[in-house]
Chains A and B, each alone.
Chain A
Amino acid sequence: MDAGSRAIKIALLDTRTRAVVATGSCDQGINQSALASDLLARLLAEQGLDAGSIAATVATGYGRHAVAAADRAVTEITCHATGVYHLHADVAAVIDIGGQDSKFIHLGTNGLVVDFSMNDRCAAGTGRFLEVVAQRLDVPIASLGEHARRADKPASISSMCVVFAESELIGLLASGTSRENIIAGVCRAIAQRIAAMAGRIPAGKIVFTGGVARVAGMRDALAEALRHPVTVASDPCMTGAIGAAIIAARENGGSE
């Protein structure tokens, strides 16, 4: 279970085959423990399973300690690394941009975390930041990438604080800067921030995961800022939950 800041994600994994049986998600809310239990019950019912078929449950995400259904909590850094490694065994680094955090995780050849860095204190360079931008520019978040591609001169965004950036956007709009150029500028600013956080860029494969990986345009901006190709994870919203499930399966010794 990945209890993130914007959504709860659950992955069911077969402890024997290590195959993902089912995944599901719901919006985050006030009572996240109940939301997670309901989602789990729904997924089990869809698979014709019941609570007795669950060998172990690991929770991750910012709400990892609040989910009653979980046996224990593991940080999202370890879980994303594990989940991405499961899906892309040749991964060298993971970029995860979620609702309120962004992370750059360096992995060893065995898939274990070697080093990581995260954004500090504010929502700069996170999904929430993009939401504010999309809302302010009256563009659906899913089509941000489309708009960014049409930019001819990406605007320079200096402020990486959500609150200040919002007033900067208003200033840019007032001065006649196009939406396309503002959106491309925001994507570029976020990507540059991630690149600065990354430190040494690994030679191997860089996989982009988290909700923001679904925003077309961010991958290209990241590849440009890192001067390195970036692959979007095959199920970017689910890698945290899948990683948690793999850890749960491992600790259970693969028992049935």
Chain B
Amino acid sequence: MKDCGLDWFEEMVEHCYQKATEFHEAGTPIIGILCEYTPRELILAAGAWPVCLCGGDADMIPAAETLLPAGICPLIKSTFGYSLNQANPFLEMASLLVAETTCDGKKKMYERLAERHPMHVLELPQKTGDPDARIHWIRELQKLRTVLEERFNVAITDERLRDAIRLMNRERRLRRALAQEMRSATPPLSGRELLDLKSLIACLPDDLAAYERIAGALPGRPADARPSPDNVRVLLTGVPVPHGAERILDLLEADHATVVCQENCTGIKPVTEEVDAEADDPLTALADVYLHLPCSVMTPNSERMRRLGELAREYRAECVVELIWHGCLTYDIEAAYTRELAAQFGLPYLRIETDYSPNDDARIALRLGALYETVRAARR
């Protein structure tokens, strides 16, 4: 059994499954989401539970490749394969899926997904800084509000929305606090342990209590349970690491290294900003924060580079590793910017392009080994 209450999240999927089954049987809707741009607040304010459906299982991919091209990213293929195989109970229980036009691969995959599941697609504008993009995104969220109200016969009042925002802010704050523990010269967790501290379903009361328990216990975690303070400090950036694809964190940390910061959608990216629950129009406040998520689909996406620079300093990173899922064009193109940024900071940089299959583990380990040797040589 793990210390500091970490064991709670070792059985995260089982807990979520149990809760989802209870909700489903009680007639409380479960709504599937597929990307961090969908505001979970609107779903919570509709009295429903948002569950993340992003696939991380390599075994789902062969089925998906019967309809989708092999060259698109494994996350898209795995998510879709779960539907074809009817293997994701959360997807099967969901009353509605809310998706958005983040990237071309996802957008076109959702057309096929909609053949088996009720689906609402938000059109995500991609010029973050354009005032018209903001107006469009606010309208998209207004439409989602109406869709949810009509489909589930509820009124999403501003008050309900404010309550949902407060709840999500609390979850974001708790997860952010855990991530920020890694700024320490003696990080209390491995990156892999930190990655496990999240849930498929947002804001479950038991999860919130567990985050709080762990946050309280971590400062007292004994040195022998922590990663060695001599480890190389890695800033990981790029694509998300969904449940099932954690081998990449294991590889990153196999050779005396600790991933101290994860600048991606399964890490710190979606919990960095809070939404103003007291704003005149909570929906507009929601739209503003979500549109600022620095995903590589945005153009220009300079906010990501600005945040990366801050994180490199705050977390005292010694090197930058960029993870690109094979076929993710936008992150792959941005990799050149990250490389330049790392050079500005004098940090060794490595780009890893891979998919969910373990057949290139030895090659990745070799590259990481050489990167860490470079960091250690520079320490002397």
Instruction: Give me the interface of A with B, judged by CB distance under 8 Å.
Output: 62, 74-78, 112-116, 118, 120-121
In chain B, residues 321-380, which have Cβ atoms closer than 8 Å to a Cβ of chain A?
Answer: 348-349, 353, 360, 362-363, 366-367, 369-370, 373-374, 377-378
B residues touching A (Cβ–Cβ < 8 Å)? 348-349, 353, 360, 362-363, 366-367, 369-370, 373-374, 377-378
Closest 5 A-B residue pairs measured CB to CB?
A: A77-B370, A75-B370, A75-B369, A78-B373, A113-B374
- Which residue of the partner chain A has the closest CB to B352? A120
Chain A residues near B348 (CB, 8 Å)? 114-115
A118 to B362, CA, bound (A): 13
Residues of B contacting A120 in the complex (Cβ-Cβ under 8 angstroms):
353, 360, 363
State the main secondary structure of chain A at its contact with B: mixed
Is there contact, CB below 8 Å, between A112 and B374? yes
Please indicate which of the listed interface residues B349, B362, B367 has the most CB atoms of chain A within 10 Å of its own CB. B367
B353 — nearest CB in chain A belongs to which residue?
Answer: A120
- Pair B373/A113 contact, Cβ less than 8 Å: yes
Q: In the assembled complex, how far is the CB of residue B286 from the closest CB belonging to chain A, in whole angstroms? A: 41
A114-B370 Cα distance, complex, nearest whole Å: 10
Report B-chain residues with C-beta under 8 Å of the C-beta of A75. 366, 369-370, 373
Q: How far is the CA of A77 from the CA of B367 in the complex (A)?
A: 8
Q: Can you name 25 A-B pairs with beta carbons within 8 Å?
A: A62-B362, A75-B373, A76-B366, A77-B366, A77-B370, A77-B373, A78-B370, A78-B374, A78-B377, A112-B377, A112-B378, A113-B370, A113-B373, A114-B348, A114-B374, A115-B348, A115-B349, A116-B367, A116-B370, A118-B363, A118-B367, A120-B353, A120-B363, A121-B360, A121-B363
Residue of A nearest to B367 (CB): A118
Q: Which residues of the partner chain A approach B363 to less than 8 Å between Cβ atoms?
A: 118, 120-121
Q: Which residues of A contact B362 (CB under 8 A)?
A: 62
Chain A contacts for B373, CB-based, 8 A? 74-75, 77-78, 113
CB distance from B373 to the nearest CB of A (A): 5
CB distance from A190 to the nearest CB of B (A): 19
Min CB distance B378 to A, Å, is: 7
Nearest CB in chain B: distance from A244 CB, A:
12
Q: Which residues of A contact B374 (CB under 8 A)?
A: 78, 112-114
Task: Determine the chain B residues whose CB is within 8 A of the CB of A114 once the complex forms.
Answer: 348, 374
